Amino acid sequence: MSTAFKSNPSRVSPMIGMAWTYTWLYKLGEYFWQQSGQLQDYVNFVLCEADPRWDQQRMAAQIIKKEHPTADSTTLWLKPPAKWQGFKPGQYVTFECEINGSRVRRCYSLSNSPADFERTGLISITVKAIPNGKVSNHIKDHIAEADLVYLSHAQGVFSYQLTGAQENASNNQEQPKDIPEEASQYLFLAGGSGITPIKSMIEQLMEDRTFNHPKITLVYTTNNEGDAIYLERLRQLAEHQADFDLHFHASDDHGYLTTKQLRQWINEPSTTDAFICGPSAFMESMQTGLRKHGIAEDHIQLERFGAAKPAIKPTQGKLTTYFEPTDHTLINEGESSLLDMAEQAGLNPKYGCRAGICHECKCKRPEGELINGQTGKAIPHDQSHIQPCVTYATSDLVIHQWT
């Protein structure tokens, strides 16, 4: 082939040659940035000095607009970089910003539709400020328009085209074209800020006129109307779309939503797909309710990121620690340090001073509640590494990988 190219250049149009060179250079660039090394660090340093949005090692997104849809919530409109791969309705991103010099990460559902992103190049997240919430209050009070934050690609399987097919969830490229035939209704149950991924799905369904989607029912509950994000927008949609019903439920006036009430919105349980997002207690009661009314387990999807995790109180008594690398289970009362426990479990961890000085034993943060034995303070969940010689468990732990 290459000889043909050389001997007979006139047969190959220059356009193809250029396209070929461009593709080749693009692939080379891609390969270069997939590697990590000093050269990449230095080139990236020069790029970031010129414009921090050109960061090749992280995905910098600029805040284009900041709004407060309710008193304690904030909507951020972000412009992700060109290499950001887009998303499916209902997915979330890992959002990273810097607070007092320290990088913190949280997962937030995207609340606009992919169609809207294609039109405007913007994505939006809405964050409700939790009392004492570090990131949510930082977003509310300190993040300003034109600031840069960092994103991951979209993640998550909470989406309608994957109904009943969780195993296909990893296939991110799947296009929303084949709605499972049996679905006659999509029932969305949103509690509080759990509306965000659901709004994304509903808007996308409304936009996508290329296929007939099932009837859409949204049951949205908050304390009162003042707390309800996007309520105006959703009411407008419901007014103009015959196949979309909105039922708003203010729990301050009518009490919490009961499983009994749920029945009135389910047309045909066997062909209903349900999506629940909201506080844990809400999700649990709704899930039980749906099951009671005859909706099969694999037709109910839950998204847990919308809700703040309940604070786990330090357990008094027996704690179980499970070491995945050695398949070892350890039961104690939280009296020994993680380093001691790892040794008991036969992990052979690196260690040094065993007094929190030398950082030699540093390891990945295991799953569970931990405290620093020197300060007595809880170790945040998004901290990447810990010093196991001065770390103690206050709940059950799972240790996936030591270092």
Contacts with another protein by CB under 8 A lie at 41-42, 45-46, 49, 98, 100-104, 352-353, 357-360, 362, 375, 382-385, 403
Which distant-in-sequence residues (6+ apart) come within 8 Å of 206 by Cβ? Answer: 237, 241, 244
Least distance (Å) between residue 21 CB and another protein = 24
Least distance (Å) between residue 84 CB and another protein = 20
Least distance (Å) between residue 361 CB and another protein = 9
- In terms of DSSP bridges, do strands 385-386 and 300-303 run parallel, antiparallel, or are they unpaired? unpaired
- In terms of DSSP bridges, do strands 370-372 and 391-393 run parallel, antiparallel, or are they unpaired? antiparallel
Least distance (Å) between residue 303 CB and another protein = 26
Token couple for 108: 């937030």
Neighbours of 369 (CB within 10 A): 20
How far is Cα 231 from Cα 243, in angstroms, rounded to an integer? 18
Would you say 139 or 216 has its CB closer to another protein? 139
Would you say 46 or 311 has its CB closer to another protein? 46
Would you say 301 or 387 has its CB closer to another protein? 387
Would you say 45 or 54 has its CB closer to another protein? 45
Using alpha carbons, select from 206, 197, 252, 258 the residue that is nearest to residue 230. Answer: 197
Using alpha carbons, select from 84, 83, 108, 86 the residue that is nearest to residue 95. Answer: 108
Least distance (Å) between residue 366 CB and another protein = 15
Would you say 300 or 338 has its CB closer to another protein? 338
Would you say 8 or 100 has its CB closer to another protein? 100
Using alpha carbons, select from 355, 357, 379, 359 the residue that is nearest to residue 369. Answer: 379
User: Scanning the structure block, which residue is given the tokens 């679905």?
Assistant: 183
Would you say 56 or 332 has its CB closer to another protein? 56
Least distance (Å) between residue 357 CB and another protein = 6
Least distance (Å) between residue 391 CB and another protein = 13
CA distances from 19 to 4, 10, 226 (A): 18, 16, 55
Using alpha carbons, select from 156, 186, 203 the residue that is nearest to residue 306. Answer: 156
